[in-house]
Structure 1
Amino acid sequence: MNSVLTLNKTLHVEKKLNELDLNVNELVETASSVIVPLGPITAFAARHPWAGMEHQTFEKTARFLKNIGDVDIYPNESLIKSGLEHGEIKEEFLEIGLEKWLDDQNLALSRDVAKEYCLAALRGDKPSTESISIAELKNWAMKLNRFKPKMTEKHLVQTYSQLLENQERTTVAKVLNSHMIKWCKLYLDSQAVWSMPNRKEGFYSAWKGLVKHDPALKPTVRERLSNIPDEADRALEEVLLRLEIPFTDIQEYLEAHLLALPGWAGMMLWRTEQSDEDRTLLIEYLAVRLWLEWAIIKPYLPLQQQKQANQMTLEPLIAKWIQWGDMPIESWAQLSGTEIKARLTLAYRFDNILRNRLWLEAWEKTYEDDLKKLISSNVNHEAERKNQSALVQLAFCIDVRSEPFRRKLEASGPFATLGTAGFFGLPIETCKLGSEHRHPSLPVMFKPQMQVKEISREPELEPFQQRLGAVHASSSTFKGMKHHVLAGLMLPEISGPWLTFQTLARSIVPRRAGAAFRKVRENWLRKPAAELTLNIGQSDTELSIGFTEKEKVTYARQALKMMGLTENFAPLVVICGHGSHSTNNPYASSLDCGACGGASSEFNARVLAALCNLKEVRQALAMEGIIIPQDTIFIAAEHVTSTDELRFIYVPELSEKAREAFEQIQTVLPKVREEVSAERLMQLPNIGYKGEHPTLEAERFAEDWSEVRPEWGLARNAAFIIGKRELTKECQLEGRAFLHNYNWQKDNNGTILANIIKGPATVTQWINLQYYASTVAPHYYGSGNKRTQTVTSGIGVMQGNSSDLLPGLPWQSVMTSDHELYHIPLRLLVVIQAPKEYIEKLLKQDHTFHQKVYNGWIRLASIDDDGNWVSWS
C-alpha cells in the first residue's frame, strides 16, 4: 500500500513539474544577487555585500534585510552616540535632512508639530512621565482603528524552517544550518587528509550518497532522503513542489535560504565563477539545503507564507506620540479625523530605519562639509609649478595608507608624488620564481589577459629550486604528520625543541626573532637574480606569457596617462607597489593591495617600471607626444604599510642624474619612515607605548604573533578624491582619503575619468562598504572577535567550530576596543575636480555609476579649479 502511495505521489510531482516548467538556473542566478562571491581568505578581496542590489535604493535594501534576517545596515543608536560624542555629527545637517523629508510627506498636519515630534524622536527624548496602562492603550487603539494609516503590504520573507522557529515550536532553522555547515566543510576542505568520498562527482551527488548514513539525522529523516532525484537541478525543482512554495514566491524563498548562511553560500557562488566544472555548485547547494529542510520539517507541512498586511496595531503609534509628541492620551478625542490619521501616519512612517538614515546622512554631510572647507582653502597653483621641477616622482597606489607617507615625503625635499590604482592598469596573472602558485594581480571584477613570470638564467637556479623543494617538502611532511594517527604521537618529541625555542623567541623578542628567522631563510635559499617574461611566449595555461610589442606600448601609455605623468619627467621615477607584513594573521592578505586581489602590488610595479625603460616603448610613446628624456630612469619599490618603509625592488643601471636623485631620496627615507610611524602608531591602542622609537615599535607590531592589530589597514576610509595633487597637497587628510591624480584639461573626451570611475572608484567603493558593513553588522557581515575565530578548511574563518563562513573584517579591524568605535561607517564620498559639464556627461554615459549615486550607494561631489564645490547627492 505504501509503495502505491509513494508511486502515486511521485507521478503527481512529475506531472506538476512538467506543467510548471521551472527554469531553476535562471531563478538561482537571479536569487544569488542577494549574496556576493566569497573567495579564500588567503587572497582576501574586498567586496561590498550588497553589490547585486544596487538597482534599488540603500534604504530599500536596509528594509529588505531587516525584514528577512533582522539585520540592520544603518548605524545603530550606539554608533550614532559615539559620532555625536566625538563631534563628528552636526545637528544642523540633521535638521536640513529632516526638513527635506518632511517636504515630501504631504501630511495634513502643522509643520511645527510634525517637526517637533520628529526631532524628539531623533534625539531619543526620554519617555513622558504620564503613566498609561496597556489596557488604556488598547482601548484608545480600538477607538482610533478606523483612522489607521495606509501601510505597505509586504511578504514575511522567511524560510519555512525560520517560520517554525519563530513560532517557538522547534529549533529546525538552527538544526538545518548546523547540518549545512557540516556538509559544506566536508566538501570544501582543501586541507583534509581524508577527503569527502565521491567529492569529484559534485557536492549534491557526494552528499546524496552519504546522507543516508548520517548518524546525526533521525532514521525517519534519512528514510525521507533515500529516494531523491540524481540530478541537482531536477532535485531542486521537485523539492520546491514538495514544500508547496507558490511560484511567485520561489525567488524570495531561495534568497532567504542564501541569506541564512551568506558566507558558505558566497563561497559556493565564488566557486561557480572560477571553473566550468563547478558552474552548477550553487544549484547543488540549494538542492541539498532544501531537501534537508523538507526532510526535517515534513511533520509540520503544509505551511504557508504569511503576509504582514495591515497587521500593525495602533498601540505603539499612540505610545510614540505620548513619548515624543508630549501628547496626553485624552487629547486624541479633541482632534479631527484628518489630524488623527495624519499623526498616526507620521508615527508609522518615521520609524527606526528612517531615523537612522537621517542620522547617517547628517554624519556624512558633516564630513563632506569639513572636507570641503579643507580643500577649498587649498587651491595652490604654486604647488603645481613645484611638481614640474621635482627631482624624483613617485607613483603610489590610491590606498588611504599612502596619503600620510606621500605627505611626509613631499615635505622632505624636491619630491612629487602621484596617485593611481595599485595594479597600474596591468591585467596580469603573476608567478614568482620557484613558485607554482599563480595569482591574478588585478581587481577581482576583471579577468587577467596575460601571465608574467619570474625566470632566472643563473647557474644557481637548479640548486635554489632544490633548496626550495626541501622547504616545501619539510612543511608538507610536518602537516602530514599532524594528521596521521601514529606519526602524530611522535611529532611533539621530534619538533618540540625547535618549536619551543621559536615560541620563546617570538614571544620575548618578536622583532629580533622575526628578522633573524627571515634572514636565515633568505641566506639559506639564496634566490638567484630573476628577470620578468615581458616578451610574448607560449604558456601551459589559457593565458599567453608576456606582452606583444603593441601591448607593451598600450599598457605603458595607459598607466602614464592614468597617473597624469605624460610630461615634465623627473630624472628618477619610482613606481611604488604596496603590501603588508604581519605574523600569525589569517587576515594578512586583507592588508595587501585591494586593487591586486589581496596581494602585494610590488610585482605590478616592477613590470610597469621595466616596460617604461624599454627603448622601443619610449620611441613609440615619443611619436604620440609622450617624450621620456633619455636620462629619466624608472625603478620599482614596495611600500610596506605595516612598517612604513619603502623597499627598492628593481633598480636598473641609473643615469648620472637619476643616481643623484636616488641617493638623495635614500637619505631622507629613514626620517620619513620614522615620522609616518610616529603618526600612525599613536592611533593604535598600544598599551605602554610612549612615542619613543616608532620605527622599532612598528617592526614589533608586524612581527609579534600575539598582536591582533598589526596595523589599522584601510579603517576610517571615507573619500575618494580625483584631481590634481595640488588640490590636497597641503591638506592633513588623516589617512582617510584615496587619492587619484587627474587633470580634466588633458582629458578632452572624458575617457580617463570614465576609466577611473569604472575601475578604481569601484574598488574603493567595495573597500569602503566592506568596512562599513563590518562595522554596522559585525556578526553578520564582519567576522566577530579575532581571538575566538577558527581558521576553517583552509578557506576562511568561523566563530567556534560551527558557524557561517564569515565574510568580512574582524572586530579588531574596525574597533579600538569592545565599546569604542574606530572606523566611522560612512558611505564613500567621491570628489572629482572637474567642471559641472564633465560630471553631467559622466552621469549620463555611465548608467552604473549614475545608479550608485542616486540610489545612495555612493556620494558624489565636484570641485572646479576655482574651488567651487557642488554636491550631487
Structure 2
Amino acid sequence: MNSTLTLNPTLTTNTAFTSTQSLNDLVKAASKVISPLGPISTFAARTPWVGMEQESFEEVARRLKTIVDVDIYPNEFVLRSAQNRGEIRQEFLEIQLQKWLDSQSLDIPHDVAERFCRSALLLDDPLPSKPLEISELKKIIKKVSHFNCRIIKKQTVKTFSQRMEQLGDGRIAKDLNRHMIKWCKLFLDDIQAVWSMPNRENGFYDAWRGIIKYDPSLKSTVRKKLNEGPQNADDALMNALQEMDIPFKEIQEYLEAHLYALPGWAGMMLWRSQQSAKEHSLLLEYLAVRVSMECALIKPYLPLPKQDIDAKAFLEPLVSAWAQWGDMPVSLISQLPPTELEAYLTLAYRFDKVARYRLWLEAWEKTYEDQLMKLITSKQSIVRKMDKTVMAQFVFCIDVRSEPFRRQLEQEGPFETIGAAGFFGLPIATTKLCSHHSHNSLPVMFNPQFKVKEISSDIELKQYQQRNQVVNSLSSTFKTMKHSLPSSMLLPEISGPWLGVQTLARSFIPKWAGSTFHKIQKKWLRKPFTKFTIEREHTIASELPIGFTDGEKVNYVRQALKMMGLTNHFAPIVVICGHGSYSTNNPYSSALDCGACGGASSGFNARVFASLCNLPKVRQTLEKEGISIPEDTVFVAAEHITTTDELKWLYVPELSNTAKDAFNQVESILLKVSEKANAERIPQLPNIHLNYKKPKAEAERFAEDWSEVRPEWGLAGNAAIIIGERRLTQDCNLNGRVFLHNYNWQNDKNGDLLEAIINGPGTVCEWINLQYYASTVAPHYYGSGSKTTQTVTAGIGVMQGNASDLLIGLPWQSVMQSDQNIYHSPIRLLVVIQAPREYVERTLSHNQAFNQKVQNGWVRLASIDPEGIWESWS
C-alpha cells in the first residue's frame, strides 16, 4: 500500500514520515546491521557486518556492546592464551599503545597518561569490587557535574522492551523474542512441518494476523488489540511506532535494535526478501509483527520513565581506574581542579576495555604479520628455480586447505601449482543428471548468467532415471510414512531390523559401513558417461540461457587464464582442480565445501572449464590474441576432497603422447602426496583415538563416522591472502592459514587484474575470515553453539534447544580445539600484494570500497615490492 497516512496530531515532537516510501527507506537503511542468512543446505561464509563497513571496527564493537552486550574483540582469556603461545609479542603491544596515545589530545602529562595506560593494559589487574567512599565520590561528582553529559555525545537507542530490562523487568523482551521465534518457525518451515501456517502465501504479516487471535499464550486484551490492528504491514508498523511515540530521528536506530535482537531470524527474512519479488517486503512485515507485538505487550507500562545518566554509576569506575592503575588515592583525585579532573576522567573513559582489547588484537595481528614477513623474505634468496620441464600444472582454488596439498605435490616432481578462484570465473547455475533443480555454482555475492546441464545419451539416461527413481521413491516413501500419523505407528516395526543393523554398523565400523553402502549404491545406480550443455540452446526469455555462444566461451576462458596468470609456458597436462568435502550426519556439511559458493562443490565448474579449454575453436581464437596453447597440451579436471586430502579424476579426455606420460607421472605420486598431506593435517584434529601411523585411513574414518563432530577443520586458522607469484611462497610452510592467488604485476599494466582479484576473491576471503572471527569471539551470538546440542529447525537452519535465535555462524567445534582452547586465531585478514608501491596506491585510489575496509579496520594491508621489501599499510 502506498497511500499517504495522516499521523496523530498529538505527536508534535515527531518529525514524522508521511508515506510508506519513507518507511521502506528506513527499513532498508536499518537492514544494514544484519546479514542475509540463507538455508543451511547452501551455507556460505558471510561477514555479519557487511553493511556496516562504512563505520570503523571499533565503532561497531562499541555499538554492539551497548545494544546487545556482545563483545566482538577477543576476550581476556583468549588474548592471554595467545600471548602464552607466543602469538602476541610485548613489543608490538607497546608500539600500538604509543600510536594510540599519539592519536589522543589530552591535557595530561604524557608520562602520567602512559603509566596509567600501560598498567591498565596488563589485563591481570582488575578494578577493585569494593565501592568508593560516598563522601569523596560526591566531591568529584559536584566538581564535574556536567562532565557525564558532555562526554557522552549520544546514547544508543534501545527498544522499549530492552529498557524494561534495564528497569528490572526482563520478561517482556524475553517474551517478545519467544513469540517471534514461534511465528518465524511456522512461516518459514517448508520441509519439516506436516501442517503449514495458514495463508502463508499472503505474506508473513497477513498469515500472522489471521491466527494471532487464537494464541493462548497471550492475554485476551493483547490478542484483541493485535487482532484489531491495521490490515497491512506498513500501516501496522507506522501505528505502533506512533503509539509508542518514537521520534522520527530515532526510528531507524529503533528498528536496528529490533533486528539486533534476533539477527538470525531477521537475516533469514532479509535473505528471502532478496530472492523473490513477491516477498520483497518480508523484512518490513517481520518488523511490523515484532513492533506491533512489543507495543501491545508494553502498553500497560507506558509511558516509561525517562532515561537519565546515573552520575555515580558512570563516574565511579573511572575514579577507581585512576586509583588502581594511576596509583592516585581517591582523596588526591577529589582535590584536583575541575579542568584537570575532567582531563584525567576523560582518559579513563576513552581507554576502556574496548580500547584496551583493540590494542591487544592489533598487537596479535602485527605479530602474525611480522612472522609471515620474516618467513617469506627469508626464503626469497633460496627460491627453487624449475630447471626441468614442467610436466603438469595444477590450478587449485585459493582455499587455505589447498596450500598444504600444493606444497606436498610440488615436492614430488616437476609440477607447478597455481591459485585462482575455485569457480574458475564461470558464472553458472548447474543441473546434475536427472535433477530438476539448479544450484548456483559461484560466490553468493554474484548472480549466475548461464545454466549448464549434465546430460547423457537417451538410452542410458532412461535406464539411469529408472534406477535413480527407485532409490528416491524408497527415501520419499519413508519420509511420508514418518510424517503420517497412522503409518508412523507401524514404521518402527517395519524399518527396525534394517535400521538397527545400519545403526550398529555405522557406530562401530563406520569406515567399512560407509564404504560398503556407497559401493552398493554406486553399483546399483551405474551412472553413465556424461557431458555438458556447453553449446547455446534456445530458451525462453525469462530463463537463464543454457550453454555459451562461441564468443562467450572464448571470453570466459581468456578471462580465467589471465586471472590465473596462465597465458604461456603451458605444460603437457593442465589439471583444473575443483574442491569439495565429504562428511556424514553433518548439518554443516555445505560449510566444508566451497566457503563462498553456498555449499557447491567446484568439481562441476572444473569439468566445464577444462572442456571449454580443449575446444579447438577456443584455442584458435586465443592464439590470434597471443595466448598460444600447444596442440599436445590437454586440460583435465579433478576434485580435491579436503576431508581426506585426495585428488579424484572427474574428466580425462583423450590424451596426447606427452600428456599421457605426464598423466602417468602424476598418477604414480598421488597416493604419496595424499599420505603426506594427511600426516600433516590429521594430528591437528583433537581426538584421543587418532591412529597417527595410518593418517589416510583416519581421515576416511572421520568422513564416514556419523558421530564425528569435527570431520575436518575447514577454513579455520585462515589469516591472510597473498596475491602474487607462487615462487614467492613455494618453499614456505604456511600451515594452511593463507589463501594463495596467483598474480604477476608485470602483466597488469593498468591494474584491472589486481582490482578484479580484490573485488572478487579478496572480498570472498574477507567474508570467510570475518565469519570465522565472529564465530570465535562471540559464539553465543554469531556462532551456532555445540553441534551436539543443535536442533535442525524448519529445514532451514539450526537452533540451540527449541526456542533460540536461528543461529547464523559456525559450530563451536569448527573453531575450538576444546572447551577451553581455541583453534582458530581470531585476527582480521591480512591482504598481501606483490607489486610496486604505485600499484597499491592506484588500487586504493580507484577502489574506494577496499580503501574504506582498510581505513576502518575490517582488513589489513601489506605489500611486497619488486625488490622484496615488505611495507605495512595498516
Q: TM-score, normalised by structure 2?
A: 0.96
Contact 1:154 1:308 in 2 (8 A): no
Name the CA distance, whole Å, in 2 between partners of 1:457 and 1:481.
35
Contact 1:141 1:315 in 2 (8 A): no
Alignment of 1:491 with 2:508, yes or no, is no
Q: Offset at 1:328?
A: 2.3
Cα 1:472–1:363, aligned 2, differ >3 Å: closer, same or farther? same
Aligned positions of 1:673-752 closer than 5 A: 673-752=674-753
Aligned twin of 2:587? 586
- Find the residue that maps to 1:154 and give its secondary structure: coil
Name the CA distance, whole Å, in 2 between partners of 1:617 and 1:129.
74
Q: Offset at 1:688?
A: 2.8
Contact 1:159 1:257 in 2 (8 A): yes
Cα 1:327–1:125, aligned 2, differ >3 Å: closer, same or farther? farther
Contact 2:392 2:415 in 1 (8 A): yes
Aligned twin of 2:759? 758
**Number of residue pairs the alignment of both structures matches:** 865
Aligned twin of 1:33? 32
Contact 1:605 1:637 in 2 (8 A): yes
Residue identity matched to 2:61: A
Q: Offset at 1:382?
A: 5.5
Cα 1:488–1:131, aligned 2, differ >3 Å: closer, same or farther? closer
Residue identity matched to 2:413: G
Q: Offset at 1:481?
A: 1.2
Alignment of 1:438 with 2:477, yes or no, is no
CA RMSD of aligned residues (A): 2.1
Cα 1:498–1:166, aligned 2, differ >3 Å: closer, same or farther? same
Aligned twin of 2:328? 327
Residue identity matched to 1:481: M
- Find the residue that maps to 1:720 and give its secondary structure: strand
Q: Offset at 1:18?
A: 9.2
Contact 1:412 1:672 in 2 (8 A): yes
Aligned twin of 1:466? 466
Residue identity matched to 1:300: Y
Q: Offset at 1:597?
A: 2.4
Q: Offset at 1:124?
A: 2.5
Contact 1:421 1:595 in 2 (8 A): no
Contact 1:137 1:318 in 2 (8 A): no
Aligned twin of 1:3? none
Contact 2:535 2:547 in 1 (8 A): yes
Aligned twin of 2:504? 504
Q: Offset at 1:17?
A: 11
Name the CA distance, whole Å, in 2 between partners of 1:728 and 1:193.
55
Aligned twin of 1:94? 93
Residue identity matched to 2:441: S
Q: Offset at 1:865?
A: 2.3
Aligned twin of 2:211? 210
Further displaced range: 487-496 or 342-351: 342-351
Q: Offset at 1:381?
A: 8.2
Cα 1:78–1:242, aligned 2, differ >3 Å: closer, same or farther? same
Q: Offset at 1:138?
A: 2.5
Residue identity matched to 1:444: V
Aligned twin of 1:281? 282
- Find the residue that maps to 2:649 and give its secondary structure: strand
Residue identity matched to 1:544: P
Q: Offset at 1:440?
A: 0.6
Further displaced range: 453-462 or 174-183: 453-462
Contact 1:147 1:341 in 2 (8 A): no
Q: Offset at 1:313?
A: 3.3
Name the CA distance, whole Å, in 1 between partners of 2:805 and 2:126.
39
Aligned positions of 1:403-482 closer than 5 A: 403-482=403-482
Cα 1:750–1:380, aligned 2, differ >3 Å: closer, same or farther? farther
Cα 1:584–1:453, aligned 2, differ >3 Å: closer, same or farther? same
Aligned twin of 1:602? 603
Further displaced range: 403-412 or 191-200: 191-200
Name the CA distance, whole Å, in 2 between partners of 1:19 and 1:722.
48
Aligned twin of 1:356? 357
Residue identity matched to 1:573: V
Cα 1:627–1:467, aligned 2, differ >3 Å: closer, same or farther? same
Aligned positions of 1:790-869 closer than 5 A: 790-869=791-870
Q: Offset at 1:302?
A: 2.7
Q: Offset at 1:469?
A: 1.5
Further displaced range: 590-599 or 334-343: 334-343
Structure 1 unmatched runs, 5+ = 1-7
Q: Offset at 1:321?
A: 1.2
Contact 1:458 1:529 in 2 (8 A): no
- Find the residue that maps to 2:845 and give its secondary structure: helix
Contact 1:127 1:324 in 2 (8 A): no
Name the CA distance, whole Å, in 1 between partners of 2:484 and 2:162.
41
Further displaced range: 709-718 or 143-152: 143-152
Aligned positions of 1:167-316 closer than 5 A: 167-191=167-191, 192-303=193-304, 306=307, 313-316=314-317
Further displaced range: 181-190 or 330-339: 330-339
Aligned twin of 2:570? 569
Aligned twin of 1:67? 66
Residue identity matched to 1:741: N
Contact 1:378 1:731 in 2 (8 A): yes
- Find the residue that maps to 2:380 and give its secondary structure: coil
Name the CA distance, whole Å, in 2 between partners of 1:754 and 1:32.
28
Q: Offset at 1:351?
A: 0.4
Aligned twin of 2:3? none
Cα 1:147–1:99, aligned 2, differ >3 Å: closer, same or farther? farther
Alignment of 1:665 with 2:652, yes or no, is no
Name the CA distance, whole Å, in 2 between partners of 1:493 and 1:446.
49
Name the CA distance, whole Å, in 1 between partners of 2:450 and 2:136.
70
- Find the residue that maps to 1:797 and give its secondary structure: strand
Contact 1:62 1:72 in 2 (8 A): yes
Name the CA distance, whole Å, in 2 between partners of 1:429 and 1:134.
69
Contact 1:156 1:308 in 2 (8 A): no
Cα 1:304–1:529, aligned 2, differ >3 Å: closer, same or farther? farther
Deviations 1:707-760 (A, max 9, x none): 000000000100000000000000010000000000000011111101000100
- Find the residue that maps to 1:396 and give its secondary structure: strand
Alignment identity in percent? 60
Q: Offset at 1:458?
A: 4.8
Structure 2 unmatched runs, 5+ = 1-5
Name the CA distance, whole Å, in 2 between partners of 1:134 and 1:579.
64
Name the CA distance, whole Å, in 1 between partners of 2:30 and 2:306.
18
Name the CA distance, whole Å, in 2 between partners of 1:633 and 1:275.
42
- Find the residue that maps to 1:544 and give its secondary structure: coil
Q: Offset at 1:807?
A: 0.2
Q: Offset at 1:658?
A: 0.5
Aligned twin of 1:76? 75
Deviations 1:574-605 (A, max 9, x none): 00000000000000000001232221000000
- Find the residue that maps to 1:577 and give its secondary structure: strand
Q: Offset at 1:339?
A: 3.5
Deviations 1:2-42 (A, max 9, x none): xxxxxx9999899x999844511111000000001000000
Name the CA distance, whole Å, in 1 between partners of 2:742 and 2:309.
51
Residue identity matched to 2:249: T
Contact 2:15 2:247 in 1 (8 A): no
Residue identity matched to 2:158: Q
Q: Offset at 1:620?
A: 0.5
